[in-house]
């Protein structure tokens, strides 16, 4: 399979990846899920040369990472570039942001939430690292920084940086 390089670190992945969201979450929730079929599909994708396996803590919530972790156990992890996401909260209607357009969902991009979430993701995935950790959406008012550098979305007007990221 043809590959491409992601980012400055040279993470090489197949140009086609497998998004696992629908295996446990979102589409046709009335139909029972078949974990054995989903795991076999992940194995087949790896056998066909797909390397990017994508999940998120919000899918299920949490059940998709558990499923992907089970699929990558037993020697399959070293064949995969594992991607997961953080920042979308869907685990209860109480977390919903009234301003959100997604009922039962809100966003939390605060650094302390991201640090807590990666620990849970690693545990559920049964691995000591993920290859690509992505933030889902954007938390208004939250500014990510590198030492000495401020990150901004280039298409938005700059706002003063906030020391705290609101929920």
Alpha-carbon distance of 166 to 140, in angstroms, equals 7
Hunting for tokens 């003063």 — which residue is that?
A: 160
**For 37, how many CA atoms within 13 A lie in the half-sphere containing its CB?**
6
Distances, alpha carbon 103 to alpha carbons 136, 139, 151, in Å: 16, 16, 29
Q: Which residues are catalytic?
A: 59
Residue 133: Cβ within 10 Å count = 15
Q: What is the DSSP letter of 143?
A: -
Is there a contact between 159 and 140 (Cβ–Cβ < 8 Å)?
no
Quick one: DSSP state of residue 115?
A: H
């Amino acid at each position: 399979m043809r590959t491409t390089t992601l980012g400055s670190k040279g993470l090489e992945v197949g140009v086609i990846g497998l998004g696992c969201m629908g295996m446990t979450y979102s589409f046709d929730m009335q139909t029972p899920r078949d974990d054995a079929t989903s795991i076999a599909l992940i194995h087949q994708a790896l056998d066909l040369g797909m390397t990017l396996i994508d999940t998120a803590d919000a899918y299920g919530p949490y059940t998709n990472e558990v499923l992907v972790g089970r699929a990558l156990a037993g020697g399959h992890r070293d064949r995969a570039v594992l991607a997961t996401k953080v920042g979308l909260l869907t685990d209860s209607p109480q977390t919903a942001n009234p301003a959100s357009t997604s009922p039962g969902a809100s966003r939390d991009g605060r650094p302390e939430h991201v640090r807590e979430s990666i620990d849970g993701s690693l545990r559920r995935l049964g691995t000591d690292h993920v290859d690509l950790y992505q933030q889902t959406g954007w938390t208004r008012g939250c500014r990510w920084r590198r030492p000495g550098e401020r990150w901004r979305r280039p298409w938005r007007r700059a706002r003063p940086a906030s020391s705290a990221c609101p929920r």
